[in-house]
A = this chain, B = another copy of it.
Amino acid sequence: MDSSLKVEKPYVVGIDIGGTNTVFGLVDARGTVVDVDKIKTGKYEKAEDYVDAVCTGLEKLIEKNGGKDKVKGIGIGAPNGNYYTGTIEFAPNLPWKGIVPLARLFEERIGIPTALTNDANAAAIGEMTYGAARGMKNFIMITLGTGVGSGIVINGQMVYGCDGFAGELGHVTIRRDGRQCGCGRKGCLEAYCSATGVARSAREKLAQSTEPSLLREIPVDDITSKDVFDAAQKGDKIAKEIFEFTGQLLGEAFVDFIAFCSPEAIILFGGLAHAGDLLFEPIRKTVDANVMPIFKGKCKLLMSELKDADAAVLGASALGWELKELEA
């Protein structure tokens, strides 16, 4: 029988590289994480040793599930990852300095085709392959975590720009001469609408008034976005105002994003997105009140459909389906 001659490749590997942990897993075509493991990213000073450690772990997963012939490709999501070159470039929270040719190191070590992109782009590809953006040709993924990241899809393709780094929507200016941002500039969306931005809004708001708030029971420097969420859920006025403010700024930014690329949807992902209507309502209100008439009511605001625990690995893995065989 001819079909027996064809090697089936039912799996891809997704690797999510974070400053603390690297999570890697085997994923099937339905988006099920079949098997997963992790190592500490910071333990390996040399990129080669790190790649060896990940591959040793991966090989165990792969052997358990039918061997290397079953794996179509490896997708990696990493901070400052460049899809065009397969390199990580000057990532401040990773142990390896300068430009690291990570995709090539993986291919050489394990012999499976490997592609790499930044974490927010990986989330967008994951959403398009397995999540809320299935079938969409134009959408924006906004990741609300420690920072604000984005992945943009236009005409069914990821937007990488001329250099591989496009899609830094966390760093559009939302308040001219506003808050200092970690990127060295001022007034970036990320300085307000990330988890750390929300905590900062809390400290500012508490300092500006003497109004009672559940948040005053927490040492001011320890307040997290989760604390603000918990207080808002209990009806705390200041906490609710903080979400109102955060949603308003996101909405103002989204209005400009819509004028740029008229996406079918903007999809929110990450810890803060779970605030649900506390955040979605002020975003919707601001977008509806400010969007150009021609775009009114056209762009959906959605929550990611990827489970948080799996999302990073899933997103990265989706890159793997597009890969071709390595040349011998």
Interface size for A (C-beta < 8 A) is 42
A138: nearest chain-B partner, CB-CB: B162
A137 sits at the interface (CB 8 A): yes
| Contact between B262 and A185, CB atoms less than 8 A apart | no
B292 with A185: CB separation less than 8 A: yes
**Is A166 interfacial (CB-CB < 8 Å)?**
yes
From 139 to 155 in chain A, residues with beta carbon under 8 angstroms from any chain B beta carbon are 152, 154-155
Extra contacts, 17 of them, besides A162-B262, A162-B298 (Cβ < 8 A), are A152-B260, A155-B159, A161-B262, A161-B263, A162-B263, A165-B295, A167-B261, A167-B262, A168-B259, A168-B260, A168-B295, A169-B259, A171-B259, A172-B259, A183-B293, A184-B293, A185-B290
- A sample of 30 cross-chain residue pairs with beta-carbon separation below 8 angstroms, ordered by A number, consists of A137-B162, A138-B162, A138-B166, A154-B159, A160-B262, A161-B262, A162-B263, A162-B264, A162-B299, A165-B262, A165-B295, A166-B260, A166-B262, A167-B260, A167-B261, A168-B259, A168-B292, A168-B295, A169-B259, A169-B260, A172-B256, A172-B259, A172-B260, A173-B255, A173-B290, A176-B176, A184-B293, A185-B290, A257-B260, A260-B261
